[in-house]
Amino acid sequence: MSQKTYKPKDAPTLSPEVKVDEPREAVSSEERLQIERPSLRDWMDLRLGWYGFVRKNLDEPMPAGVGWWQTLGNLLMTLLVFQFITGFALAMYYSPSPDSAHASVKHLTYEVGLGSFIRGLHSWGSTVIVIAVVLHMLRVFFWGSYKKPRELTWVVGVIIFQVILGFSFTGYLLPWDQKAYWATVVGTRIAATIPVVGHALLVFIRGGEEVGALTLTRFYSFHVMLLPASLILFTFLHLYLVRRHHIAGPVTPAKGAPVPFYPNQLFKDAIVLLFGVGLLIYLAVALPPGLEAIADPTGTDFSPRPEWYFLGLYELLKVMPSGWEVVATVIIPTGITIGMFALPWLDRSKSRHPAKRQWIIMSGFAAILLIGLMTLKGILETPPEHKKSEATLAGSSDIPKAEATQLESLGE
């Protein structure tokens, strides 16, 4: 087994005195093979090796000092399972076409029994996941847990983070209401600010020049096929790496021997799940999801705003002077992403202690402060009252309607 060939230097081990539940199997698998009439449990275990696997994970040694901060990963896993299940349920009623998307969401929210609750779980779930993932990343960051040999655990984590942002960007469009449509018009236009290839990229993302039917099918296919598949893959890889390298203890080793994962840590995990999932259910019930008017490319009585966790970027766009938007749309976000990927190699200090890696901690604080303040600014700033000036409206109320049949096509 891998344990024989690989064992990290700082791997925590349970001292023999620590009490764990006795392995159930008093006899070896060889001996059990010989049992004439094995119990179903023995029969299954012989084939699956399941109990050994469960046992090993329940006995996983937790260094002293590991506790509440290490429960976030488990919370994330649970929330992801919730997202998968509610997403699967929503897809039973949803139809990804501009003709029917809005109507199908309206139907499932207001007419289907429990529809509002299921949709609430899914949409609030994305928010709670983003909060939990950010907290999880911050704890790994301040603990310096990304250092050797856990670099790839971190890198896979950053990939997962990108996938989660991809989920929220593509999912936001699906209800096909005003908010969805305009956030996507603006969000996809960001691609067009990239020099040279920008326009081609925009058409590729939208599936055409404008946000339309093909944008919706494209986003839908990413949201329900590619992103979930990648998320599952990378999450398993992440968990495998977490177990392979074991949880890193506190930056200054705490007194005391490692204890098994079960029951102490699992108990803390369960408490956090109770509150995390409880909060999610509360939000889904107390603040049921809404639906705005159907997407309207001509509508003016609407001021587009993205999902709250993209508001930082939105505010950044406001302060960029003309001609510099590529800095806000591409350079800063890409820079932060590259910095995140490269973090384990940027931070060369041997020690995980924050005092021993001051400039990394400082840049981390700076980035968090920038993103946090910008997001806060975006949240606090009530959308500017976006009234049509009456004078213009009066003149144009008798709208001429050029009939499609009247058109003559002149070509280029």
Partner 1 sequence: MPKDNLNQDNIEISRRKMMGLVVGVINLGLIGAIVGPMVGFAAAPLGNKRKSRWVELMDESRIKPGEVKEVNYSLLVVDGYHEVEQKFTVFLRRSEEDVICIDPACTHLGCRVDYHADQHKFICPCHGGVFDDEGTNKSGPPPKPLERHPVKIEAGKIWISREV
Binding site residues, partner 1, CB under 8 A: 98-99, 182, 185-186, 189-190, 193, 200, 203-204, 206-210, 212-214, 217, 296-300, 302-304, 314, 317-318, 320-325, 329, 383-384, 386, 388-389, 391-393, 395-396, 399-402, 404, 406-412
Between 243 and 305, whose beta carbon lies closer to ligand HEM? 243
Distance in Å, CB of 38 to partner 1, minimum: 40
Between 140 and 259, whose beta carbon lies closer to ligand HEM? 140
Distance in Å, CB of 284 to ligand HEM, minimum: 19
Which one of 90, 101, 121, 160 is in contact with ligand HEM (CB under 6 A)? Answer: 160
Beta strands in 116-248 (DSSP E): none
Confirm if 3 and 246 have CB atoms less than 8 A apart. Answer: no
Task: Single out the residue of 374, 379, 377 nearest to residue 307, CA to CA.
Answer: 379
Q: Which does 392 bind (CB under 5 to 8 A by kind): ligand HEM, partner 1, none?
A: partner 1
**To which H or E segment does residue 274 belong?**
helix 266-286
**DSSP assignment string, 333-382:** HHHHHHHHHHHHHH---S---GGGSHHHHHHHHHHHHHHHHHHHHHHHSP
Q: Which does 204 bind (CB under 5 to 8 A by kind): partner 1, ligand HEM, none?
A: partner 1
Q: Which does 136 bind (CB under 5 to 8 A by kind): partner 1, ligand HEM, none?
A: ligand HEM
**Apex CA 120: angle with CA 87 and CA 163, to 5°?**
45
Binding mask 59-88 for ligand HEM (x = CB under 6 A): -----------x-xxx-xx--x--------
Distance in Å, CB of 214 to partner 1, minimum: 4
**Burial degree of 196 (CB within 10 A; 0-12, 13-18, 19+):** exposed
Between 16 and 321, whose beta carbon lies closer to partner 1? 321
Distance in Å, CB of 331 to partner 1, minimum: 15
Q: Which does 161 bind (CB under 5 to 8 A by kind): partner 1, ligand HEM, none?
A: ligand HEM
For residue 136, state whether it binds ligand HEM (rule: CB under 6 A).
Answer: yes
For the record, the structure tokens of 156 come out as 């896979």
Confirm if 66 and 18 have CB atoms less than 8 A apart. Answer: no
For residue 133, state whether it binds ligand HEM (rule: CB under 6 A).
Answer: yes
Cis peptide before 263 (omega within 30 of 0): yes
Distance in Å, CB of 398 to partner 1, minimum: 8
Between 78 and 97, whose beta carbon lies closer to ligand HEM? 78
For residue 140, state whether it binds ligand HEM (rule: CB under 6 A).
Answer: yes
Q: Which amino acid is at 374?
A: M
For the record, the structure tokens of 117 come out as 């609750």
Q: Which does 292 bind (CB under 5 to 8 A by kind): ligand HEM, partner 1, none?
A: none
Confirm if 261 and 59 have CB atoms less than 8 A apart. Answer: yes
Q: What is the sign of the dihedral through the CA atoms of 278, 283, 286 and 291? A: negative
Per-position b or e across 323-344, b if 16+ CB within 10 A of its CB: eebebbbbebbeeeeeebeebb
**Apex CA 334: angle with CA 330 and CA 336, to 5°?**
130
Task: Single out the residue of 2, 44, 250 nearest to residue 140, CA to CA.
Answer: 250
Q: Sort residue 411 into left (φ over 0), alpha (ψ -120 to 50) or beta.
A: left
Binding mask 220-239 for ligand HEM (x = CB under 6 A): ---------------x--x-
Q: Which does 406 bind (CB under 5 to 8 A by kind): partner 1, ligand HEM, none?
A: partner 1
Read off φ and ψ for residue 177, nearest 5 degrees. Answer: -105, 180
For residue 161, state whether it binds ligand HEM (rule: CB under 6 A).
Answer: yes
For residue 153, state whether it binds ligand HEM (rule: CB under 6 A).
Answer: yes
Between 94 and 309, whose beta carbon lies closer to ligand HEM? 309
Query: Which residues form the interface with ligand HEM (CB under 6 A)?
Result: 70, 72-74, 76-77, 80, 133, 136-137, 140, 145-146, 150, 153-154, 157-158, 160-161, 235, 238, 242, 247-248
